[in-house]
Amino acid sequence: MFGRKLVSRRPRGIAGVALAVMSVFAMAACSSASDGGSADGKTTITLSMQNPDVKTADPATWAIVQAFEKANPDIHVKVSGQAVAEHLQSLSIAAQSDTLPDVFWVYKATAEDMLKAGKLMDLKPTLDDLGITQHLPQSTVSNFTAGDKVYGVPYQGLLTGLWVNKKILSDNGLQEPATFDDLVAIAKKLKSKGIVTISDGANQSSFSVWSFLVWLDRFGFEDKIDGILDGSQKYDNADFVRMYQHIADLRDAGAFATNVSTQTYQQAVDQYLNGKAAMLDAGVWASSAIQDSSVAADTTFWNGATFDDGVGNQNIVMNVASAPLVVDHKVSGDKAKLAAVKKFLDFYYSDQAQQLLVDNGQPPVTDYQPQIDATKQSVLKSALDVATNPSLGSPKSQPDLLVSTAVSSAMYDSIYGVIEDQLTPEKAVALVQKALDAEK
């Protein structure tokens, strides 16, 4: 949290240990270690997600689970969840005790570590047998493949950028931006009118810097990441310093709210929904809330600024698979659970479930062509129109999903550190490099 001393957002000391212990007990309680059968004759599979309240925070997943259970009354999906940091910590502990849930959401880097440790089921035979592979983008399949094993499947699409209130811009004599210079000019003009340009919130939501993660790819992250991970290149490099300097320039132009360090992501969303910010840093998951607000008719989606001094292709949109869903290795040894998990995956990637994703403000993750009401889903449509623009490319993955939890947290801290004027660009890249070096 910035505005204060830079500290890790992970639990520390006795409280951290207590949380870890409680988390592993909670995880063990819903793990695949128990028999999949139950007194009512149903097979139970556990699904552990990165939200404490999946029903309200992730309505798309909840809708799919409810529809699946209706179609398969002999199977019960026991859904649980925790906030991202606690969820990942619980999974790490559960992996050590071999008490992982049957199906769970996890970061790509963590999943690959679990695969190496023999904790995950190889999904390739199942996906091929069910005919799912042919309906997934090849880039998605390869992104979740290690060696000859497919360890994950796409949970949801990760389509991120900036939601833009066109009316606020036009009311102030401004046009929709395209370049970084355009964005700075908008920030200066709106600052003079007391209007926030980009709504962000660092408090308890330091991960909410999606539009700036796209910036990393506009400064060569995808070409650099392999070298950064093997130590032949550094995150602390001139290109990234230049990128962080642009964040500082945007900050100095008055683009962010004065309370960016104390407001949460949800408060940042509310700021936009209430017409108090011209842009919102988020992704497609915010489309439903925007659609239900008074700013829906004025909102469009922007894939972000291009840079004259960037590195590589500037015409990109972050349209990738989110962190994957994976399956515990012990499922393969339990016939009832294996059959139930196969049915769940078959349903999740069916046209019916993909339409449920769209109905709940998410893009499909297969080649399914969704039905979209251009009036009732105008906000989502504006994002999907950008995502399917043939002139735009996309990275293979979002930068923070390619590194460990510790490094991704350092990346978030580095970005918010510059936004809040707590870190210089040079210190920001050094912070992330220190986290990388600590893992060597």
DSSP secondary structure letters along 5-20: -----S--HHHHHHHH
The domain tally of the chain equals 2
Q: Are residues 327 and 313 in the same domain?
A: no
Calculate the CA 133 to chain-centre distance. Answer: 22
Establish if 427 belongs to a structural domain: yes
Helix crossing, 13-29 with 84-97: angle to 10°?
A: 70
Q: Are residues 287 and 424 in the same domain?
A: yes
Residue 356 included in any domain: no
Residue 290 lies in a domain: yes
Same domain membership, residue 30 and residue 144: yes
Alpha carbons 145 and 139: distance in angstroms, whole number: 10
Side-chain half-sphere CA neighbours of 338 within 13 A: 13
Query: Is 5 part of any domain?
Result: no
Q: Which domain holds residue 289?
A: 158-317+393-437
The predicted pLDDT at position 98 comes to 97
* Domain membership flag for residue 337: yes
What residues contact 160, with CB distance under 8 A and at least 6 apart? 210, 211, 213, 214, 282, 283, 284, 318, 398
Q: Note whether 31 and 148 are same-domain residues.
A: yes
Whether 275 and 407 share a structural domain:
yes
For residue 393, give the 3-state DSSP assignment.
strand
> Domain of 287: which CATH number?
3.40.190.10
Q: Are residues 202 and 304 in the same domain?
A: yes
Query: pLDDT tens digit string along 289-319?
Result: 999 999 999 999 999 999 999 999 999 999 9
Show pLDDT as tens, one digit a residue, over the chain (440 residues). Answer: 223 233 333 333 333 433 443 444 444 444 444 455 655 789 999 999 999 999 988 999 999 999 999 999 999 999 999 988 899 999 999 999 999 999 999 999 899 999 999 999 999 999 999 999 999 988 899 989 999 999 999 999 999 999 999 999 999 999 999 999 999 999 999 999 999 999 999 998 999 999 999 999 999 999 999 999 999 999 999 999 999 999 999 999 999 999 999 999 999 999 999 999 999 999 999 999 999 999 999 999 999 999 999 999 999 999 998 889 999 999 999 999 999 999 999 999 999 999 999 999 899 999 999 999 999 999 999 999 999 999 999 998 999 988 988 999 999 999 999 999 999 999 999 999 999 999 98
Do the domain assignments include residue 358?
no
430 and 409 both lie in a single domain: yes
Does 164 share its domain with 140? no
Cα–Cα distance for residue pair 368/93, rounded to 1 Å? 37
Whether 361 is in a domain gets the answer no
Check whether residue 285 and residue 297 sit in a common domain. Answer: yes
Angle at 358 between CA 216 and CA 288, to 5 degrees: 75
